[in-house]
Amino acid sequence: MALIVHKYGGTSMGSVERIKNVARRVAKWQKAGHQVVVVPSAMSGETNRLLGLAKEISERADPRELDQIASTGEQVSVGLLAIALQSIGAKAKSYTGWQVPVKTDSAYTKARIESIDDSRVRKDLNDGYVVVITGFQGIDGNNNITTLGRGGSDTSAVAVAAALKAEECLIYTDVDGVYTTDPRIVPEAKRLEKVTFEEMLEMASLGSKVLQIRSVEFAGKYKVKTRVLSSLTDPDIPLAEEANSGTLITYEEDETMEQAVISGIAFNRDEAKITVAGVPDKPGIAYKILGPVASANIDVDMIIQNVSHDGLTDFSFTVHRNELEKALEVLKAKVQPDIQAKSITGAKDICKVSVVGIGMRSHVGIASQMFETLSKEGINIQMISTSEIKISVVIDDKYMELAVRALHKAFGLES
Ligand code: ADP
Ligand code: ASP
Ligand code: MG
């Protein structure tokens, strides 16, 4: 007997029929003798619908109220799933984040989990209940409801698994594992049986939305055994078969693993580029531009400074698209009076494409192969950044799919 956490995403919870299937799957695990905690997301489309309502009233809604609204999608899901479980004879009880409680900081719409009280959940498990806990939400020190950012139910599930010291966290989703790239963009993408924690962390941070980045960070910090697998198989398939399906995140580099140099291609359309053109090229300029941006709590990703002409240079960086307007306001109000740039402009028509693989550490020439592939397709590279196990480029958004397909092929990732 083991304690297992299941997480089901929006599509997996997308209809009453699907919720009934989730209940059957969960009941199968419980009947096999396991204690099960389930963390579902809101039904697909629901979080967008809720946030859309707020947006109809105000483009700049108070983040506290947005969390108040967005968190309700998950509350409906846990109740429905508990009823579905009860209706097939399983004892089940649902909880929202504040009831557990799942404590977070107060960063509305992107809160971080600080602690999870496991006492109530443990008692219920010992009394034979399946415990269903809302994904995506928590409560701050002043009893305000918070949410963990889009896709945050993954993080809830892994954090719950860590708090309960669960044997495994199973992330059930609408694909049957982690692929070499998004199978919606490249149908030839191949499922990975295993992926190292480091690679998964890079892929998630670079835009592979199959797992929220913070869930991978949590998994790594607490060494939570985590597997991504399909919720769309027949819920009655043998448990042993299900338990070994999908993609396992591993924490040791396995010598016997057939190690490809590149394990995946990620892309991200959520960033925007800001260019501060015609600024004096002298010490302190990067700080003058980025200091106020950081003080406004805006994350900066890629940065590039061009060679200077006549003592002037252009400075570009990327931020999340949702923060573009805010960043431009900060620059115009707090930076421009000081630096007197020729222009400050924002562009949303960019995307970031990255190749990821721990095999890169021992191989040279990956960057040049990447640049050659893009150049053969006539795709201009606007920015580049590298780490030990990834290379990212910013390109024109309209070439995103072309670039991903070409790179997937060039690095031999097809099945
Ligand atoms: P859920 O609602 O279950 O959380 P998501 O939509 O958040 O599901 O994540 C699953 C989706 O992630 C898949 O449908 C797929 O399109 C996308 N995806 C992006 N990159 C990858 C990848 N490398 N492997 C698998 N899926 C990926
Ligand atoms: N329902 C939330 C979202 O749509 C959280 C999640 O699905 O993980 O972002
Ligand atoms: Mg998700």
Decide if 10 contacts 47 (C-beta within 8 A).
yes
Could you give the strand order of the β-sheet that contains 390-396, starting from the edge strand earlier in sequence?
264-268, 350-356, 390-396, 383-387
**pLDDT score, position 146:** 98
Decide if 133 contacts 139 (C-beta within 8 A).
no
Query: Given the CA of residue 203, which atom of ligand 1 is nearest to it?
Result: 23
Does the beta carbon of 136 sit less than 6 angstroms from any atom of ligand 2?
yes
Does the beta carbon of 46 sit less than 6 angstroms from any atom of ligand 1?
no
**pLDDT score, position 240:** 96
Nearest ligand atom owner, CA of 231: 1
Nearest ligand atom owner, CA of 71: 2
* DSSP 8-state assignment for residue 191: B
Does the beta carbon of 40 sit less than 6 angstroms from any atom of ligand 2?
no
**pLDDT score, position 342:** 94
What is the average pLDDT across 261-274? 95
Q: How far is the CA of 333 from the centre of ligand 2 (A)?
A: 34
- The whole-angstrom separation of Cα 84 and Cα 235 is 14
Domains in the chain: ranges and CATH: 3-255 (3.40.1160.10), 274-346 (3.30.2130.10), 350-410 (3.30.2130.10)
Q: 4 pairs with which residues across the strands? A: 36, 168
> Is 193's pLDDT higher than 60?
yes
Does the beta carbon of 207 sit less than 6 angstroms from any atom of ligand 1?
no
Does the beta carbon of 138 sit less than 6 angstroms from any atom of ligand 1?
no
What is the average pLDDT across 259-269? 90
Query: Given the CA of residue 173, which atom of ligand 1 is nearest to it?
Result: 3
254 falls in which pLDDT band (50, 70, 90)? Answer: low
- Which CA distances in Å does 202 have to 18, 152, 211, 218, 332? 31, 17, 11, 14, 33
> Of the residues 19, 182, 185, 186, which should be mutated to test ligand 1's pocket, given the most ligand atoms within 8 Å of the CB?
182
Q: How far is the CA of 208 from the centre of ligand 2 (A)?
A: 15
What is the average pLDDT across 3-18? 98
Nearest ligand atom owner, CA of 49: 2
> Of the residues 77, 136, 218, which should be mutated to test ligand 2's pocket, given the most ligand atoms within 8 Å of the CB?
136
Task: Copy the structure tokens of residue 381.
Answer: 């590279």
Q: For 105-139, write each residue's pLDDT tens digit.
A: 999 999 999 999 999 999 999 999 999 999 999 99
- The whole-angstrom separation of Cα 307 and Cα 16 is 59
166 falls in which pLDDT band (50, 70, 90)? Answer: very high
**pLDDT score, position 257:** 55
Does the beta carbon of 123 sit less than 6 angstroms from any atom of ligand 1?
no
- Torsion-angle region of 177 (φ positive above 0: left; ψ -120 to 50: alpha; else: beta): left
> Of the residues 18, 180, 209, 228, which should be mutated to test ligand 1's pocket, given the most ligand atoms within 8 Å of the CB?
209
What is the average pLDDT across 148-164? 98
> Of the residues 199, 201, 210, which should be mutated to test ligand 1's pocket, given the most ligand atoms within 8 Å of the CB?
210
DSSP letters for 12-56: TTSSHHHHHHHHHHHHHHHHTT-EEEEEE-PPTTHHHHHHHHHHH
Does the beta carbon of 42 sit less than 6 angstroms from any atom of ligand 2?
yes
**pLDDT score, position 70:** 98
Nearest ligand atom owner, CA of 10: 1
**pLDDT score, position 255:** 58
Which has more confidence, 310 or 188?
Answer: 188
What is the average pLDDT across 371-396? 96
Residue in the block written with tokens 């980045």: 213
Its pTM stands at 0.93
Phi, psi of 319 (to 5 degrees): -135, 170
